[in-house]
Structure 1
Amino acid sequence: MTSNPLQQALKQYFGYDSFRAGQREIIEAHLAGRDTLAIMPTGGGKSICFQLPALLKTGVTIVVSPLIALMQDQVTALKENGIGATFLNSTLSGRETHLRSQAILNGAIKLIYVAPERLFAEQFIEFLNIVKNKIGIAGFAIDEAHCVSEWGHDFRPEYRQLSRLRQFYPDVPVIGLTATATERVREDIIQQLQLQQPYVHVASFNRNNLYYEVVPKQGTEQSYVDLLRQIKRMQGSGIVYCLSRKRVNEIAERLREDGIVAIPYHAGLSAKEREENQTRWIRDDVQVMVATIAFGMGINKPDVRFVIHYDLPKNIEGYYQESGRAGRDGEDSHCTLFLGYGDLETIKYLIAQKVDPHTNEPLEAEQRIAQQQLRQVVDYAEGVACRRTILLRYFGEHFHGDCANCDNCLTPKPMEDWTVEAQKFLSCVARVKERFGAGHVIDILRGSMNKKILQHGHESLSTHGIGKDRSLDEWRQLSRSLIHQGYLTQTTDGYAILKLNDRSWEVMRGQRNVLLPIERDTEPVTVTERETSERPVDVEILFERLRLLRKNLADEQEVPPYVIFSNATLNQMAEQQPTSRKEFAKLSGVGAKKLEQYADDFIAIILEHHLKYPPAEPEESTTSRVKQESVTPKSKLSKASTQRETLAMYENGLDIDEIARDRGLKPATVWTHLVQLIEAGYAINCDRLVTPERQNVIYEALEAIGGDSLRNLFDHLREEYTYDEIKIVRAIWQNEKEPL
């Protein structure tokens, strides 16, 4: 039972009984009219932080979103929850834009999604002023707010103009939301959006369910073999990121040749091709999307089980966000990075192309920052410390101890005491007055007499030459490890200057020992199967049947399956097996609209499953006996035969609508009962449902293209046959195909 209005609204609209960490505080601040900045990792529940207040406040909320696909995805999900939402963008006709505008002015819409380019178009500003006067503007939500900062990994110049919101609507609260932002980027967002004394929430960047690993590239052919092996080992949807369009096309084609259903996505494809490929992947018609980083921002697909970077990413923020597209539903997922030094040259070439479009002069500051960001990626990939520790430290978060969910923690390297070497290194940083980077410090330690050392007189330092006994690679590894373990800090302005901190001095005073994981000549770490939780076979069978129903319903409505229910909800459904609406309503992710729309269909599957796999009887107790005595005729006991009750009425001559009316069901539920009965082996005369002539045409379609996809059958039949007709005939056809 929810305990307050906020929780009640959360359950009613989104189906959740409680808030995730930080959500309530963000929502309450926004409801109180405060500007807000929410930094929450992918899958952390950012959207609810502005969607729920929008439902509780007077007026509409304007959501600024950088991508059309993101707008469409979120609007679809909101509508599925019974929430009035729409988007206004360039894909709409004039008539459709007018209809949506009228719906807004009539008060039927609570959230409007727009791109930043449209927001300040003169015509749209005029429309917003009408909305403000007639309906009211509850707030502005700036999604993917890191795009406003040139220090972010995906800076978009058009986001800079969002500061004008404060000029046009000074009293309307603004909330900025993003999954990735360092402290510098956070400061820039606040400044650029002109947030006034904002409430700032920075959630933990740790994603416990993600397994991180780095795999070395070992030649073109062997690397592809390793990639193929990885994908075949995985289950569910995945993304493979590549640097170039050419590589995307090559990998997608080879995967298809090797039996993996994979499709490409990059800027070289037409807008129609990109949209079609994205839709096919989101709707689970294909398993793997092979893409450049042009793909993915704002994709809400929660059940991505693996993300593989086949080529080196350009920066840590981009890698964190791209890999973070795995496991948004909280289930275990895999993040693999292939380390190939050939990729470095490709990225360096791309960095060199950063020039001023007007003068064609190099943008030296941007190039310098990009080069440092690339070094940080290589440091991560070459690092032998806990991957999570390295990633989280980049965002200013300290993670202590092994995570037990990355390759370095699960297959740790032998440790050596490098305290003396660390003291030498840190002492050298102090002697150059914390004004140089790791390369210069290492040159001093190794006794170099290069021009830069002589220019600064560093050949006379007491630390000059005291590290000749260690190789260049060993000193580089130590410098990375000191940063990763928090014994040194590094500036992020593109120069990567080393700075001492309190822990540095503790090492130099002998109060801390420094242990360094040492790389040996061992076999490269490759992905291994991690233990997965064992579930009873009957629960797995039910889960697959529920998943198939979800896919069929999604195909009918032309929406992604996760919009119906998430995998987490399906797992809970398969394990708890609710057989009444009251029980079904308790599932996480089941709100009022979805309860009304889907409960009967899914309960019917569960009840039919119970015919073959009867649930275990609870142990007898006083409490259970009292409950059994108070069971009503329409509770579990009588519902166990609900399909057969439908069958009896059908065989007595009643049609679908009559059965639905007499039983208080939806016609779609009656159709589902009959399909399930056929699948269970009941002999039913279907001529009253589908005429023999129409059955023959559907049969021919099934023989031609198979029965895996209802959507493909519907299209093949040129939309002249209903999904219900196709399901009935497909059930008969599948029974005939099953071996005796």
Structure 2
Amino acid sequence: MDRLEQSLQEHFGWSSFRAGQRPVVEAVLAGRDALAVLPTGGGKSLCYQLPALVRGGLVVVISPLVALMEDQVLQLQRRGIAAACLHAGLAPDRRRKALSALRDESLRLLYLAPERLQGEATRQMLENHSSEGRLVALAVDEAHCISAWGHDFRPDYRRLGQIRSLCPGVPMLALSATAAPRVRADIIRLLDLRSPSVQVSSARRSNLRYAMRRRPRDPMPMVLEALKASRGATLIYARTRRSVERWAERLQEQEIPATPYHAGLDPEARQLALTQFLDQERPVLVATVAFGMGVDRGDVGLVLHLDLPSTPEGYLQESGRAGRDGLPADCLVLFSPGDRTSLGWAMQAGARGEISADERSRLDLAQQQLRRMEAVAEGEMCREQALLLTVGELVQPCGRCDRCTATPDRRDWSTQAQTLLEHLAEKDGTDLRRLGERLALVEPGRNERWTWLARRLVQEELIRESDDGVQRLYLRDSGRRFLDDPWPLDYAA
């Protein structure tokens, strides 16, 4: 057993490294920049935690979420490792302890939000530690946030490249669970990584079973069925704080001890919810998607989304909280065709007043990503295969998901497609809702079915959809060719 394996065993109780970890650790210890794209549950955090312990110095970790910081600090402290975080919601006594440990050089890991790097005190601390040789590395967690092509773009991450000038000789490590080639290129460029060691592991998780089902008017029976079949902990994602509170209350009424978690809770309530999720035998936690990044509980047997996720890459990370112990786990999405419209309008509503060309481009991209997620949910391809294609990974069908194990009732939709395309040819640029209403006059009561078919034809690239959130539809040349010479369109509705 060499020095690294001894440290791994001593501090974390592991007998060997997981795939992809060791090359990253060795690069950092050799003073090289590195980019690590390891799947959720692949042990990304160890890639910067171990170098701090081997060198006996400080690693500063840039993290986008308080939940991530708090969870990792709690886990490290339980292992007897000196770690702390600094954020706006920190209690005064914890802040004093963190700053004291930083001054006496006993701290090994310090977690910071990206905006804190703009403060003069933080920048001076980095310069001092760097010049005195006490700074082992700078780690940027969730590094995809720096790229407009990433699924969780954060403007504050754009300025992180500036810290290179403060700590020119300190290796920088960028980490993410998912990053398509374009996102990886952005990370390297915007963080000014210098000839980095790049480690990219497959995002495939062979123990996860993906399923996506249409959400009925009241999805409670489906939720209870999924909870009954699950093992260990359950993480339920809802889109809004209000929905989180409502679902926690509804589950409590069913005598299920569900705990809500969202950014609107006070720090003590959030900490209590996190502690309960980590410590209880079979906890059920209802949270917004901000929760879960970096949470280290291995036996999550069910990750349930109550709404359509906004991006495939984000869903890979969120669902990746399941089955980190390697045992079978379920990932279920309950979605409605209306989710796509409400999410799209919410994105547009977030950009108030005049917006820059860069912001418009980012919003258009968000609409495209949302459309890709809807294609995964509505499409007939293997769920895992469709999800991994979005991050540039081609795999064979998994054989485990609901698509692979189902025997769908398929039918030819070419006649209905002709009707829809003919209506669109008469009035190009009609928005999806109005087109559905017009076609419902042809076949009363089938508005939802027509909008579903329109979305399928967008996926078939017979129709083009605008990226402005209005969902205007335009006939493509391929759609006109279909009208001239139709071919079978076999779908399972």
TM-score normalised to structure 1 length: 0.56
> 3-state DSSP class of the match of 2:303?
strand
2:172, 2:105 → 1: CA distance? 21
Q: Could you tell me which of 396, 407, 415 is aligned with 2:402?
A: 407
Cα offset, 1:388, TM superposition = 0.8
Q: Does 1:322 align with 2:295?
A: no
Q: Deviations over 1:235-289 (max 9, x none)?
A: 2211222223333222221211112111222344334333332332232277211
Residue in 2 that maps onto 1:305: 301
Residue in 1 that maps onto 2:254: 258
CA, structure 1 residues 206+365, in 2 after alignment: closer, same or farther (shift >3 Å)? Answer: same
Residue in 2 that maps onto 1:6: 4
Greater relative contact order (Cα < 8 A, sep 6+): 2
Q: Could you tell me which of 80, 83, 89 is aligned with 2:81?
A: 83
2:105, 2:152 → 1: CA distance? 35
What are the residue-to-residue correspondences of 1:560-599 with 2, within 5 Å? none
1:207, 1:74 → 2: CA distance? 23
CA, structure 1 residues 117+366, in 2 after alignment: closer, same or farther (shift >3 Å)? Answer: closer
Q: Does 1:72 align with 2:70?
A: yes
| Structure 1 letter corresponding to 2:492 | E
Cα offset, 1:480, TM superposition = 4.2
> 3-state DSSP class of the match of 1:113?
strand
Write 1 or 2 for the structure with the bigger share of strand: 2
Cα offset, 1:103, TM superposition = 3.1
Cα offset, 1:135, TM superposition = 5.0
Q: Deviations over 1:5-56 (max 9, x none)?
A: 2222222222212211111111222222111111111101111111112222
Residue in 2 that maps onto 1:125: 123
CA, structure 1 residues 12+343, in 2 after alignment: closer, same or farther (shift >3 Å)? Answer: same
Residue in 2 that maps onto 1:350: 346
Cα offset, 1:165, TM superposition = 1.0
Residue in 2 that maps onto 1:279: 275
CA contact (8 A) 2:238 2:289 kept: yes
Cα offset, 1:336, TM superposition = 0.4
Q: Does 1:376 align with 2:372?
A: yes
Q: Could you tell me which of 201, 217, 224 is aligned with 2:220?
A: 224
What are the residue-to-residue correspondences of 1:240-639 with 2, within 5 Å? 240-284=236-280, 287-356=283-352, 363-400=359-396, 402-413=397-408, 449-450=425-426, 477=456, 480=459, 518-519=491-492
Residue in 1 that maps onto 2:136: 138
CA, structure 1 residues 152+216, in 2 after alignment: closer, same or farther (shift >3 Å)? Answer: same
Cα offset, 1:104, TM superposition = 3.5
Residue in 2 that maps onto 1:502: none
What are the residue-to-residue correspondences of 1:700-715 with 2, within 5 Å? none
Q: Does 1:41 align with 2:36?
A: no
Q: Does 1:63 align with 2:61?
A: yes
What are the residue-to-residue correspondences of 1:729-740 with 2, within 5 Å? none
Residue in 2 that maps onto 1:28: 26
Identity of aligned residues (%): 40
CA contact (8 A) 2:71 2:274 kept: no
| Structure 1 letter corresponding to 2:402 | D
CA, structure 1 residues 190+286, in 2 after alignment: closer, same or farther (shift >3 Å)? Answer: same
| Structure 2 letter corresponding to 1:171 | G
CA contact (8 A) 2:59 2:136 kept: yes
1:346, 1:253 → 2: CA distance? 24
CA contact (8 A) 2:276 2:283 kept: no
CA contact (8 A) 1:384 1:413 kept: no
Q: Deviations over 1:515-574 (max 9, x none)?
A: 997416xxxxxxxxxxxxxxxxxxxxxxxxxxxxxxxxxxxxxxxxxxxxxxxxxxxxxx
CA, structure 1 residues 43+481, in 2 after alignment: closer, same or farther (shift >3 Å)? Answer: farther
1:449, 1:357 → 2: CA distance? 33
1:213, 1:88 → 2: CA distance? 39
CA contact (8 A) 1:105 1:131 kept: no
> 3-state DSSP class of the match of 2:41?
coil
> 3-state DSSP class of the match of 1:46?
coil
Cα offset, 1:482, TM superposition = 9.5
1:208, 1:109 → 2: CA distance? 37
CA contact (8 A) 2:363 2:468 kept: no
Residue in 2 that maps onto 1:201: 199
2:209, 2:253 → 1: CA distance? 28
Q: Does 1:174 align with 2:177?
A: no
CA, structure 1 residues 62+442, in 2 after alignment: closer, same or farther (shift >3 Å)? Answer: farther
CA, structure 1 residues 361+442, in 2 after alignment: closer, same or farther (shift >3 Å)? Answer: farther
Residue in 2 that maps onto 1:574: none
Higher alpha-carbon deviation: 353-362 or 38-47: 353-362
Residue in 1 that maps onto 2:162: 164
CA, structure 1 residues 354+225, in 2 after alignment: closer, same or farther (shift >3 Å)? Answer: same
Q: Deviations over 1:214-247 (max 9, x none)?
A: 1222222xx2222122212222211222223333
> 3-state DSSP class of the match of 1:70?
helix
Cα offset, 1:76, TM superposition = 2.7
Q: Deviations over 1:307-344 (max 9, x none)?
A: 11111122212222111111122221110011212323
Q: Does 1:51 align with 2:53?
A: no
Q: Does 1:236 align with 2:232?
A: yes
2:174, 2:468 → 1: CA distance? 24
CA contact (8 A) 2:84 2:98 kept: yes
| Structure 2 letter corresponding to 1:409 | C
Higher alpha-carbon deviation: 45-54 or 62-71: 62-71
Work out the number of aligned pairs and report it. Answer: 457
1:443, 1:364 → 2: CA distance? 34
CA, structure 1 residues 217+29, in 2 after alignment: closer, same or farther (shift >3 Å)? Answer: same
2:488, 2:75 → 1: CA distance? 49
Q: Deviations over 1:353-381 (max 9, x none)?
A: 03256769995333322222221111111
Q: Which has the larger radius of gyration?
A: 1
2:298, 2:489 → 1: CA distance? 37
Cα offset, 1:141, TM superposition = 0.6
Cα offset, 1:416, TM superposition = 9.7
Residue in 2 that maps onto 1:152: 150
Cα offset, 1:94, TM superposition = 5.8
1:493, 1:202 → 2: CA distance? 33
| Structure 2 letter corresponding to 1:258 | Q
CA, structure 1 residues 341+71, in 2 after alignment: closer, same or farther (shift >3 Å)? Answer: same
CA contact (8 A) 1:237 1:287 kept: yes
1:383, 1:176 → 2: CA distance? 33
CA, structure 1 residues 104+363, in 2 after alignment: closer, same or farther (shift >3 Å)? Answer: closer
CA, structure 1 residues 447+288, in 2 after alignment: closer, same or farther (shift >3 Å)? Answer: closer
1:187, 1:121 → 2: CA distance? 28
| Structure 1 letter corresponding to 2:32 | R
2:356, 2:193 → 1: CA distance? 35
> 3-state DSSP class of the match of 2:246?
helix
CA contact (8 A) 1:354 1:366 kept: no
2:192, 2:235 → 1: CA distance? 36
| Structure 2 letter corresponding to 1:406 | C
Cα offset, 1:78, TM superposition = 2.3
1:362, 1:185 → 2: CA distance? 16
2:248, 2:355 → 1: CA distance? 38
